[in-house]
Every structure is written in C-alpha cells, then in structure tokens.
Copies of this chain bind each other. A is one copy, B any other.
Amino acid sequence: MRPSARAPAELRPIRITRQFTKHAEGSVLVEFGDTRVLCTASVEERVPPFLKGKGRGWVTAEYGMLPRATHTRMQREASRGRQDGRTMEIQRLIGRALRAVMDLEALGERTITLDCDVIQADGGTRTAAITGSFVALADAMRYLVGKKSVKKSPLHGQVASVSVGIYRGVPVLDLDYAEDSEAETDMNVVMNDAGAFIEIQGTAEGHAFRMEELQAMLALARSGIEDLLRKQRDALGLVG
C-alpha cells in the first residue's frame, strides 16, 4: 500500500499551467501532486564562448530550490556561495534532456536557458522540471516563430520524465517524498515521444536491484511517460 493510496502504476495528479509569470518567453508551473516547479524559458541572442561563430544555438538549464520548499529549511545556495553537487547533477540532466529534442542548428546563434525553481518539494522535482521545461521551451519556440526569428520550431520531438522505484518490494511509478525517502531503489527515466530512452539513472539505495526489477521499472516508466507526453500536448493545445 502506497502512502498516497495510489496504485503502483498511478501518477500523481499532474497540472501544467502556462504563462505563470509574465516576463519569460515561456513560463510554466508544473505540479506533480504537491511538487511544484516553476520552469521559465529565456531567449538570449548570444551563445556560450565554445559555440561562438558556429551558427548553432544552445539550450541549458539551471535548477534551484527555494530554501523552504522542503520540510526543514535548507541553506540558500546563493548565501553559501556555491551550488552543491546534487544541484549541478540535476541541472546538467535537464539540459541534456532538452537538447535531445532540439535542432540546435535550426535554433541559430541563441541560448535558451531553462530556470527550474522548486516552489514546493514532495519528491520527483527533477522529473517534474524536465516535463515542465519542455512545455516552457515549446512556448519559447512559438515566440521565436511568432517574431519570425526561426521559420519553424526547432523542436523535433517531445521529452518527458518520471521516476520509478522499488517501494517495500513493489515497483512503483512517480514516487512522492514519503516513498522516495524509504525506497530501496530510485530510478529517473527520460524518454522521447518515439518511446526511446534519452537518459536512465538508477541507484540502489538499499539492496542492489535484480534484472527483473529493472525490467519492471522500465515498463512502468514507459507507460507513465506516455501519459505525461499526452498531458504536455493537452497543455500546448496540440491534437494527439
């Protein structure tokens, strides 16, 4: 029995709110249950030094948690003077996930920065961030199409992410904090809308996981991500 009384293959209630703030070219509040992440996509007409003059753009991400997004207050990274290893790991993951569905040549010499700020944390913040960032990125691409900076959206696919794990011996989908803090294994899966993998990160927290457990988790992830991809399309008003 899951703490939330969900079935093993059941996602939390998912909400995707576009235009949550007014300045960013894409601004999405994504909610996976009580996990709330604000994802903004900012367009800048410049590229990082290693891309200068190559005719290609870049997509990158930054991740942060408000200090009291969590049960107990965490020290603010800005006041501590550096981002910790977990933050860096997550923002690198988000960036890679989104670049996997973007045609950087078609983007032109621009940088899109996805800022993923966790307003409230209840497990799965990185998977929510990826799922919400895709929608923010799609909106930013519509903005560029709208002002004719690009002919058509340089996005060539959709990307979404969900966590799976082994909770009390049972493979479950989309772990919340109560499950996550107790799970034996935790895996984050990123897939595209062709059903292929962009990233798999699985960690045994308690005992190591066997091949059949891995297969069960992958199956759960695939079905959960299909659902998330559908919700992204709904949010963007796409048929399908």
Contacts and interface: CB of A to CB of B under 8 A. Distances in A.
Contacts of A17: none
A113 B197 CA distance: 34
A83 B89 contact: no
Contact of A68 (B24, B73, B85, B218): B24
A69 B66 CA distance: 14
Contacts of A73: 24, 42, 44, 113, 115
Contact of A66 (B40, B82, B87, B89): B40
Interface stretch (A2-10, A126-134, A206-214, A231-239): A206-214
Contact of A85 (B44, B92, B208, B214): B92
A196 B204 contact: yes
A70 B23 contact: yes
Counting chain B CB atoms within 10 Å of each CB, the highest count among A44, A83, A192, A203 belongs to A203
A44 B196 CA distance: 42
Contact of A42 (B34, B68, B77): B68
The 6 closest A-B pairs by CB, nearest first: A196-B208, A85-B88, A77-B78, A42-B73, A40-B68, A200-B202
